[in-house]
């Protein structure tokens, strides 16, 4: 029996249909297996489709404490590809894992994530915070010295936003906010290094 899943992936896949042998994905929302199959092959503006054989899935991974996310590993153009999927509920995530792992007779094991994976998210957050704080701080210096920030040209909306933040926070406020967010990111880096998250791996 075909199983339809609504996905919560931010920018890509919206609906997944699991048939007996295939995983079918599309970046459009459908409400039933029949509607999905009827419109899957239709071409459309910005429409994306993907079809993966269940037997090609070599690994399934999900965080132990984040029960809606699954990452499947499969071959694509002679390369190993990882595809993250975010389900609406824990029950749907579990249902998908059972349906995909059973034909491959996969077994589950628990393991700690790598050091890099453990700190990657807060590390990226720290880098973004540092970059944005620098941009706003530079604008704040210009404003405090009586100058005018150039907000024209490409990406003018972002420039106007940075200029508004600079005018609102000033140099001292920008430093305070940047340091505060940076300390939060640093805390999570330290926390994840001390106790690395655990993930469940099916192979």
Look at residue 104 and tell me whether its pLDDT is greater than 90: no
- pLDDT for 29 equals 93
Look at residue 65 and tell me whether its pLDDT is greater than 90: no
- pLDDT for 116 equals 87
As assigned by CATH, the class of the 3-106 domain is: mainly beta
Look at residue 176 and tell me whether its pLDDT is greater than 80: yes
Average pLDDT score over the chain: 92
Average pLDDT score over residue span 113-117: 85
- pLDDT for 173 equals 96
**Complete edge-to-edge strand list for the sheet that includes strand 15-18:** 3-6, 15-18, 22-26, 49-53
Look at residue 122 and tell me whether its pLDDT is greater than 80: yes
Sorted by where each begins, the domain ranges of the chain are: 3-106, 115-196
Q: What percent of the chain has pLDDT over 70?
A: 100
Look at residue 41 and tell me whether its pLDDT is greater than 90: no
Look at residue 32 and tell me whether its pLDDT is greater than 90: yes
Q: Which residue has the tokens 């791996």?
A: 201
Q: Picking from 11-15, 126-130, 152-156, which range would have the lowest pLDDT averaged per residue?
A: 152-156
Look at residue 161 and tell me whether its pLDDT is greater than 90: yes
pTM for the predicted model, two decimal places = 0.71
Tokens of residue 63, six digits: 């965080």
Look at residue 101 and tell me whether its pLDDT is greater than 90: yes
- pLDDT for 114 equals 85
Is the Cβ–Cβ distance between 78 and 152 less than 8 Å? Answer: no
Look at residue 66 and tell me whether its pLDDT is greater than 80: no
Average pLDDT score over residue span 99-110: 91
CA dist 14 and 28 (Å) reads: 5
- pLDDT for 143 equals 94
Look at residue 1 and tell me whether its pLDDT is greater than 80: no
From the CA atom positions of the chain, what is the Rg in Å? 23
Average pLDDT score over residue span 105-125: 90
Residue 191 has, within 13 A of its CA and on its CB side, a CA count of 9
The SS3 of residue 64 is coil
């Amino acid at each position: 029996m075909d199983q339809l899943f609504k996905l919560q992936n931010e920018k890509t896949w919206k609906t997944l249909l699991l048939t007996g042998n295939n995983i079918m994905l599309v970046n459009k929302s459908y409400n039933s297996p029949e509607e999905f199959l009827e419109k899957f092959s239709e071409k459309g503006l910005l429409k994306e489709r993907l079809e993966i054989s269940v037997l090609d899935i070599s690994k399934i991974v999900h965080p132990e404490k984040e029960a809606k996310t699954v990452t499947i590993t499969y071959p694509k153009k002679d390369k190993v590809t990882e595809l993250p999927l975010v389900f609406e509920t824990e029950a749907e995530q579990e249902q998908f894992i059972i349906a995909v792992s059973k034909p491959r007779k996969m077994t589950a094991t628990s393991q700690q994530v790598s050091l890099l994976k453990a700190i990657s998210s807060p590390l990226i957050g720290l880098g973004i915070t540092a970059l944005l704080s620098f941009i706003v701080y530079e604008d704040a210096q210009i404003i405090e010295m009586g100058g005018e920030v150039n907000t024209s040209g490409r990406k003018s909306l972002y420039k106007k936003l940075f200029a508004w933040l600079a005018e609102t926070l000033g140099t001292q406020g920008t430093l305070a906010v940047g340091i505060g967010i940076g300390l939060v990111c640093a805390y999570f880096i330290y926390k994840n290094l001390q106790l690395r998250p655990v993930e469940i791996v099916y192979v």
